[in-house]
Amino acid sequence: MIQFSNFEKKTKIIFKNKSLLEQAFIHRSYINENASTKLSHNERLEFLGDAVLELIVTDFLYKKYPNCTEGELTALRSALVNAVIISEVATVMGMNDYLLLSKGEKKDNGKARQYILANTYEAYIGALYLDQGIKAVDKFVRESLLPKTEEIVAKKLWRDAKSLVQEKAQEFINLTPAYRVLSESGPDHDKHFTVGIFFGSNLIAEGRGKSKQEAEQKAAEMALKVKNWMD
């Protein structure tokens, strides 16, 4: 049996309601496989935690960057609360060791696990909010996630690659990039797309992803590197 007390010791956050803490780590697949359990999965907590997290991050960025426009603040927030960054934070915290998953989900350590970890982080925030209020959550988020802000700003990770490549292409060559699907493979539930980014009729770069949108972003990132427009 998973000892959540070990997680409490690690985070130095002791829950009054232990069932809330446990629920934050329960994935829907675990409930589906253990129908007789009286436990609930973490999706309602995730819904709450997502809203609380957005408020805390928005408040932090608004105060930290008084000269940023609304659009820049929105982009910064999106970069900070995306699944990749949050799952990295959750992994460092050791959340992966406490997940309650189905046997099938336990075997998948790829992108699906990344999203599960990000959702669990948000569910944990929801649980902590209910257990101890906004001040406790604010402290937790400031210590675990918000330190990532400096890296995101320094590396300009907040800028959307597609928007940036369009801006640069119009500035330097007076063209708007176009994207075309070059190939797709795999069954419907596990599609892989290869997308090309074109300046006029010229193929500049390719990107691959599990959705057209992801492949387009990768292609845009590659085009920025090819054209040396990363500044």
Residues of the chain by 3-state class (helix, strand, coil), percent to 5: 60, 10, 25
Per the annotation, does 122 bind a ligand?
yes
Quickly list H helices, the chain.
4-11, 18-24, 28-33, 43-64, 70-80, 83-93, 103-107, 111-132, 134-144, 148-154, 161-172, 212-226
Task: Indicate which residue of 8, 22, 43, 50 is catalytic.
Answer: 50
What is d(CA 195, CA 176) in angstroms, rounded to the nearest whole number?
A: 16
Find residue 205's DSSP bridge partners: 197
Distance CA 144, CA 66 (A): 23
State how far the Cα of 191 lies from the Cα of 211, in Å rounded to an integer.
Answer: 7
User: Which of 133, 158, 138 lies closest to 148 in space, CA to CA?
Assistant: 158
214 is in an annotated binding site: no
**Residue 88 among known ligand-binding residues:** no
DSSP single-letter state for residue 192? E
Backbone angles phi, psi at 160, to 5 degrees: -70, 125
Is 122 assigned a catalytic role? yes
50 is catalytic: yes
- Neighbouring CB atoms inside 10 A of 231's CB total 8
Active-site pick, 122, 131, 216, 221 = 122
Q: Which whole-number Å values give the CA distances from 103 to 83, 108, 165, 175, in the listed order?
A: 23, 9, 43, 51
Can you say which residues are annotated as belonging to the binding site?
A: 46, 119, 122
Q: Which residues are catalytic?
A: 50, 122
**Which residues are known binding-site members for Mg(2+)?**
46, 119, 122
